[in-house]
Amino acid sequence: MRHDDPQTLIIDADDTLWENNIYFEQAWDDFLDFLNHSALSHQETRTIFDEIEIANIKVHGYGAQNFARNMVQCYQRLVERLIDPTDLNCIMGFADRILHQPIEMLEGVEETLAYLLERNHDLILFTKGHPEEQRLKIDRSPVGRYFREFEIVREKDAPAYRELVDRFKLNPEITWMIGNSPKSDINPALEAGLNAVFVPHARTWTLENTDLRPVRPGTLHIVENFSDLSKYF
């Protein structure tokens, strides 16, 4: 079904508009090489790290700075040698590089945003994470001008979507959440009574992957890439 009448499109940022998780994966690979554990496999190490990360997200949230903190804790737990203070500085440096990566837009994003705006769709950017880190990425990207609002929240759950709808007086029937994460973009938006478009990304963060929830016909579209939005709006 094509929606030619103006719709409200709430759009995720990281790994929907631009690359993000690949830089965290690069930092993680550097960490694994630095740790060089003699017994644990990479997957076993990652499982331990994920446990640390899940626990710390509840307190500290997301972002490169918190990722660094989690790697330090993982290192302190697993390292097989005496810890030198320079070790921790090195680990912090792995994460610091994430903040200085160029903004690499995903294919077709800017052209598609321009197309959607030309057709009078209302565009809102909705992302989670460390507010300063996320705002810097928005400011460094070429696409901020296409959005009427930027919203950065601690967690993108159903209450966060309901609050967004209430604050901007959105009509759920013509409001769509567009993103790559089943956990943060698709399922909570559907739970909040919105529609959704799932744009899969091959390198979506593992902790953001989950099964898509069952939906009413017509309330969820699955596309191959961001450019495919022009087929629906």
pLDDT, tens digit (0-9, with 9 covering 90-100), for 37-66? 999 999 999 999 999 999 999 888 899 999
CB proximity list for 132: less than 8 A, separation 6 or greater: none
Q: Which of 151, 149, 156 is nearest to 181 (CA)?
A: 156
Give, for 31, the enclosing helix (H) or strand (E). Answer: helix 21-35
CA pair distance 98, 102, nearest whole angstrom: 9
Query: What is the chain's mean pLDDT, rounded?
Result: 94
How far does Cα 19 stand from its chain's mean position?
9
- pLDDT tens by residue, 100-133: 999 999 999 999 999 999 999 999 999 999 999 9
Domains and CATH numbers, the chain: 8-18+104-231 (3.40.50.1000), 21-99 (1.10.150)
- Neighbour count for residue 83 (Cβ, 10 Å): 11
pLDDT band at 85 (very low <50, low <70, confident <90, very high): confident
Counting residues of the chain whose pLDDT is more than 70, the rounded percentage is 100
- Rounded Cα distance between 86 and 21, Å, is 26
CB 179 within 8 Å of CB 12: yes
DSSP 5-27: S--EEEE--BTTTB--HHHHHHH
Q: What is the pLDDT of residues 5-35, one digit of tens each?
A: 899 999 999 999 999 999 999 999 999 999 9
**What is the helix (H) or strand (E) element at residue 136, kind and residue range?**
helix 131-140
Per-residue confidence (pLDDT) for residue 216, from 0 to 100: 80
Q: Choose the weakest-confidence range: 50-54, 98-102, 145-149, 209-213.
A: 209-213
Put the strands of the sheet holding 175-179 in their side by side order: 149-153, 122-128, 8-11, 175-179, 195-198, 220-222
129: region left, alpha or beta (phi > 0 left; psi from -120 to 50 alpha)? left
What amino acid is encoded at 67 in this protein?
F
Q: Does residue 180 contact residue 200 with C-beta atoms inside 8 Å?
A: yes
Q: What's the whole-model pTM score?
A: 0.93
Contact call for residues 109 and 18 (beta carbons, < 8 A): yes
Distances (CA, A) of 27 to 57, 91, 148: 18, 9, 33
Sign of CA dihedral 69, 71, 74, 78: negative
